[in-house]
Structure formats: C-alpha cells, structure tokens
Amino acid sequence: MELMNAIYGRRAIRHFTNRDVPREVIAALAEAAAQAPSAMNSQSWAFAVFKGRERLQDFSERAKLYFQESFSPGSADPDVRMREILTKPGYNIFHDATTLVVVYAKPNHDRFAVGACYLAAQNLMLSAFDMGLGTCPIGFAQPWLDLDEIKAELGIPVQYTAVFPLVVGYPEGPAEDPHRHRPEFLN
Ligand SMILES: Cc1cc2nc3c(=O)[nH]c(=O)nc-3n(C[C@H](O)[C@H](O)[C@H](O)COP(=O)(O)O)c2cc1C
C-alpha cells in the first residue's frame, strides 16, 4: 500500500468482528511501531497486550469510573461531551474489541519519551491499516492504566508510564469519515 493511501485512509474503528488478532500479528505491528524516530535513538517505548472481551469490559467499567472522577462540576467542553459519552448506559470505552495494546514510556530519562510513544503508536496504527486491521486510540483508558496499583495488578513495572492505549481488531463495516479542517498556517 502506498504510504499516502494509508495516511489518508486510516480511520478510528469502533466496530470489530469476533476474529482474534494473533500474537504474531501484534508482534509485527510492534516491530513497525519500533521503527519510529526517537530522541537520541532512545527507543523509549514498550508494549503490553491485554486480550479478552470480558476482561476489557471489566477494565472499561473501572477506567470509566476513574476518568469521571476527574470531571469537576460544570466543567467546560470537551469535558461535557466526554461526560455525555461516558455516562451512556453500557458504553464500553474499548468498543467491544478483544485486543488492547498499550504503548508505555520507559523510565530511561528521555525527556521526549512520551512523544516517541505517540510516534510509535501512529506507526502501529498505519501498519495495522495496511494489514487490513482497524485501530482506535483510547485516551479514556490512559489515566486509569497509569495508576500504580493498576500497573501492579497488570504486571507492568510501576516506573513505566502508560502513554497510548489503542484497541486493535478486524473492522466490521466501514468507518465514519470525520471532517478535517484545512491546516492552519501561522506565518
Ligand atoms: C490521544 C487520542 C485519544 C483518543 N481517545 C479516544 C477514545 O478514548 N475513544 C475513542 O473512541 N476515540 C479516541 N480517539 C480517536 C479520535 O476520536 C479520532 O482519532 C478522531 O475523531 C479523528 O478520527 P479518525 O482517527 O478516524 O481520523 C483518540 C485519539 C487520540 C489521538
């Protein structure tokens, strides 16, 4: 696939089939993610994979509660929209996907580690699209995944920072095509 087709064709996917994403596919996606640039070639990313729809449903309920605690009463947009989404009965922040990948920043004193993780995640999402898979970033899960007690529960060293959670799966049907503004130039 041409790179520009992937850049313009990738969409956030929120409906997935039941088909499992094999471990070797995830490994290939992580390899592609690890080709991203990083400051001083620090390669400050690490990956964890969590599988199972029921397990992710449980994560979703707990992450939703934690995220909602961060809303102050009467807070402004986009909190209002986020609150609307999160309080919808039965809303699963992982869109009923069966595979969650989390990109963690290593505790290696790279001051740009978080940026590197975002670049790695973008590589992963474009590569997934190239392989016929769909992805969706799940920012709602990030604060909960980064709690020390949750990292301990999940077997993640607490010194690692949860940066970019995303679900991966086989898309069910076409995605929405969100509008993009023209790029803003400041000079
Ligand atoms: C940092 C970040 C966090 C996001 N968090 C969520 C999320 O929690 N749930 C969700 O459904 N989409 C999430 N998204 C996906 C965006 O809604 C989506 O990228 C945006 O609407 C543009 O659509 P597109 O990716 O199809 O072009 C997130 C995207 C980014 C970059």
pLDDT higher than 80, residue 9: yes
- Give the predicted TM-score (pTM) of the model: 0.96
Atom number in ligand 1 closest to CA 95: 11
Atom 10 in ligand 1: which residue has the minimum CA distance?
A: 138
Q: Convert the pLDDT of each residue in 24-74 to its tens digit.
A: 999 999 999 999 999 999 999 999 999 999 999 999 999 999 998 888 777
At residue 165, what are phi and psi to the nearest 5 degrees? -85, 140
d(Cα 157, Cα 185) in Å, to the nearest integer? 42
Atom number in ligand 1 closest to CA 11: 26
d(Cα 25, Cα 145) in Å, to the nearest integer? 23
Dig out the tokens for 126 from the structure.
Answer: 């474009």
List residues bridging with 44 in a β-sheet. Answer: none
**Domains, in order of start, for the chain:** 3-169 (3.40.109.10)
3-class DSSP assignment, residue 16: strand
